[in-house]
Chain A
């Protein structure tokens, strides 16, 4: 894809669980724009309205813990978030994000403040904090994940290859 993503940082704390990302009561739908409207509502009811296409979610430890509901990653993706950065991710959320083509990257998020301008090169997964003019080292992803991300997610990946190839 070779895409460069740019946007502002929305900072979140530790242990943001999937119920906070999208409340269970909203999940019974295939209307993904509706999910995006309720993103992180129980953490901050105004955040969904303030997010602009390309912005980043920047969290602490264990982002996405809790249920396997993919609606959490879907809500983030459909809200226009370009990537989620965290000190660590809960396992299922991490996989869901990659499989949806939403970059989920582990890095030291203390290097980012609320509202900082960030830039991510999808091809090389190199991340910069433009506001602070510093590069942010990212924990490299495994080859399988990189390939899936590059194709834009698991569906386009399997559509192209028909099976897992690596």
Chain B
């Protein structure tokens, strides 16, 4: 019998544990990067301190990022920030303080995660780094404390679902629309425990900024990771960022996948996820005209300079509708600078946008744009659960930056293709 080949995730895990593994096996792996932020970091420290150990396993491989409530909205958060600053200083761990940006954007743009790596973060959207051919996933604070101590964690090797993106994307349709379509098809638990591997024509045409959107959102259908091969686009993007050696990983031709999902991108319309679940997805034609009170462009999903540029191209020379608030939150300090240099920020502010500091902004519901009772928000984020933005009486729709920009102009959910 011929040996069955391995998927990307089986290969990466095999290279990080003692034995060769295949899907379904339980094993203990070493990690290359451990990421923590201000919302989950205090719990990590609390659990780590219970070990009574003076030092972490490897301070070079751990980072803290203040993004969820940064700058701090109240003294309670400020005191947690103080505690984390003290811990990172004592242990010589790198801290990206307020204003640096969302942890996931910081990690990728600083070249901290590379193809073939295993990265973990105390945040479910750690899966974003899968676009860089790394096996990356979210874990809890206690588990992270174990990583701080040992540099390792246990896991079950996931099976892989292949998602094939056929055809090219039409004008006005973006990676976000593909991600929403996929989640709508699979459902919020459709890929539970699985790794997703993306391939296809539409993918190979996408710049990295779009690929991160796809990997970022795989958790919304339950997947553990959203992986891609490292192609010339990936390698080019990593140039100047990667400061250590790395080896890209591909699935073998005879690797086995649990299932396949094909999406025809060439016929795709802009998509909208309607409150209160991300898999409640409709083509824009079915929700157009729904009035909105606040538009939010930002987050680890769609807060990159490219996203702001798309929004600016629609809002250029136009004004947002009376009665609508447009909040813009660049994903990081570097993305903010890029968007400033390209002129996108100026265009957005001229159109009536409020610019808030790089970080998570109102996405996790802590500050900077919590909606009021009964208000409707259209957002580029990745989650629209009840209460997500800090008010369980608000309603959240999710869409691409283009759809958000177009809708800010009209005050209603609007097909961005009307403005292209």
Contacts and interface: CB of A to CB of B under 8 A. Distances in A.
Interface of A: 15, 17, 19-20, 23-25, 27-30, 42, 61-62, 65-71, 73-74, 88, 90-92, 95-96, 99-100, 142-144, 153-155, 158-159, 163-164, 166
Interface string B279-315: 0000000000000000000000000000000000000
A34 to B, nearest CB: 10
Nearest to A14: B189
6 contacts: A25-B365, A28-B76, A30-B46, A68-B139, A95-B140, A96-B142
A138 to B, nearest CB: 18
Contacts of A62: 188-189, 192, 222
B149 A15 contact: no
Nearest to A157: B146
A166 to B, nearest CB: 8
Given A24-B387, A70-B140, A164-B150, 12 more contacts: A23-B390, A24-B365, A62-B222, A67-B138, A68-B126, A68-B138, A69-B140, A70-B122, A95-B140, A96-B139, A158-B146, A159-B51
Interface stretch (B36-44, B201-209, B397-405): B36-44
A90 B218 CA distance: 13
Give the contact-size bracket for chain B: 35 or more
Contacts of A19: 383, 385-388
Interface of B: 26, 28, 39-40, 42-43, 46-47, 50-52, 68-69, 76-77, 80, 121-124, 126, 138-143, 145-146, 149-150, 152-154, 156, 188-189, 192-193, 222, 224, 277, 364-366, 383, 385-388, 390, 392
A91 B137 CA distance: 11
B145 A142 contact: no
A17 B42 CA distance: 22
A70 B387 CA distance: 17
Contacts of B80: 28-30
Given A30-B42, A91-B224, A70 B142 contact: yes
A70 B385 CA distance: 17
Given A15-B188, A15-B189, A163-B152, A68 B40 contact: yes
Contacts of A70: 40, 43, 122, 140-142
